[in-house]
Amino acid sequence: MRVDERMINTVVIAGLLALPLYALAVDEPFTITLVTRAVILALAAVGLNIVLGIGGMVSFGHAVFFGIGGYAMGILAYHAQTFTVLDLGLFTTGGTKMMPVIWLVAMVVSAVVALLIGVLSLRTSGVYFIMITLAFGQMFFYFAISWAQYGGEDGVSIYVRNSFPGLNTLVPIQFFGVCFVLLCVVLFLVAQLQASPFGLALNGTRQSEARAQAVGLNPMRLKLLAFVISGAVTGLAGALFADLNRFVSPSMFSWQLSGELIVLIIIGGVGRLIGPVIGASVFVTLEHFLGGLTDFWHVYLGVILLCIVLFGRGGIIGLLTGQEGAHV
């Protein structure tokens, strides 16, 4: 049986919207929170998929941007809740609890850091690139641990979820709505990007850098731009994730998280628009049910992952559509 990819996209998005609405109807707020978690992880992986799936760069350090998004939220909200001044050298601010402002800061800072990391690590490729991104991730992890002002190893707790004009974000379904709309907007933009001249050129660079160069494209610039966009999207997801938990800690920078983001993409299907969303849904479901059965659910996750890599090329979408998808 061959299924059309567009149909899969529609079904997945509809399902992601229907489940929390059903949970609202039968009054199970925990399910809503669980789906929100899946939506946010999906958003982070959608960001990673821009470099991994379209650009063919295996970044093993995307937790950097997830963590930066988280700390952007944590730091701004911390100063707002303690009424202290955040001194940035050029100007001072009292922090903020407004989500749109936090998102903007998270995305801008992530993009700037992505630019710096990208300029250094894109000088290399292949295994070097994997190891270097991993090492940068670790650098931010240790920096966050030694950053005593914001809790060091313990992180920062935010007592009240940040606000969005016109909504009460403490109601699970309303916060879910915010995250879901953001995911849809980003998915729409990524679809546009994939079909744009930039997306096509990036895709061509993944398939053959030499050919791309021969027709006059600049692979380094394409990849760097993709890396920056990708970092900004994952940073946005990090800010939402911190808001979901009302807590940030260095664990948002951990290398396991970088690995898990890649895993989400592989489960769904590399380079597919909706692949990360399917991957995140499956991951959160497994985490919830296997995690309820045994404390050692990562063993099963490991075995499943090994089977996907060794036998099931193309992830779930590849299985359904009968096409392997992008080669990285």
Partner 1 sequence: MTTPLIIEQVLNGLQFGVMLFLMAAGLTLIFGVMGLINLAHGSLYMVGAFAAAAVAGATGSFFLGLIAALAAAAFAGAVVEMVVIRRLYAAAHLDQVLATFALILIFSEGTRWLYGSFPLFLDIPDSLSGPVTLPGGIQYPLYRLTLIGIGLAVAIGLWALIEKTRIGVQIRAGENDREMIAALGVNISKLYTLIFALGAALAGLAGALVGAIQSVQVGMGEPVLILAFVVIVIGGIGSIRGAFIGALLVGLTDTLGGVFLPELFKLFMETGAAQKSGSAIASMGIYILMGLVLIWRPTGLFGARA
Interacting residue ranges for partner 1, rule: CB under 8 A = 52, 58, 60, 120-121, 123-124, 126-128, 130-132, 134-136, 138-139, 142-143, 145-148, 255, 259, 262-263, 266, 270, 296-299, 301-303, 305-306, 308-310, 327-328
Closest CA to 248 of 107, 103, 108, 150: 150
CB of 161 to partner 1, least distance (A): 30
Residue closer to partner 1, measured from CB, 61 or 177: 61
CB of 21 to partner 1, least distance (A): 34
Q: What are 198's two structure tokens?
A: 């930039």
CB atoms within 10 A of CB 272: 26
CB of 313 to partner 1, least distance (A): 9
Burial 30-65, CB ≥16 within 10 A → b, else e: ebbbbbbbbbbbbbbbbbbbbbbbbbbbbbbbbbbb
CB of 164 to partner 1, least distance (A): 34
Residue closer to partner 1, measured from CB, 134 or 320: 134
Contact 316, 73 (CB under 8 A): no
Residue closer to partner 1, measured from CB, 60 or 247: 60
CB of 51 to partner 1, least distance (A): 12
Instruction: Measure the CA angle with vertex 246, ends 117 and 44; round to 5°.
Output: 40
CB of 292 to partner 1, least distance (A): 16
Q: What are 70's two structure tokens?
A: 């988280």
CB of 201 to partner 1, least distance (A): 21
Instruction: Measure the CA angle with vertex 103, ends 285 and 183; round to 5°.
Output: 40
| Three-state DSSP class for residue 133 | helix
Residue closer to partner 1, measured from CB, 97 or 223: 223
Residue closer to partner 1, measured from CB, 181 or 303: 303
Residue closer to partner 1, measured from CB, 117 or 240: 117
First to last CA, the chain: 26
Query: HEC string of 298-311?
Result: HHHHHHHHHHHHHC
CB of 268 to partner 1, least distance (A): 13
Alpha carbons 55 and 101: distance in angstroms, whole number: 30
| Three-state DSSP class for residue 162 | coil
Residue closer to partner 1, measured from CB, 46 or 308: 308
CA dihedral in degrees (236, 237, 240, 244; nearest 10)? -170
Residue closer to partner 1, measured from CB, 35 or 117: 117
CB of 57 to partner 1, least distance (A): 10
Residue closer to partner 1, measured from CB, 198 or 300: 300
Alpha carbons 54 and 199: distance in angstroms, whole number: 7
- CA quadruple 132, 136, 139, 141: dihedral positive or negative? negative
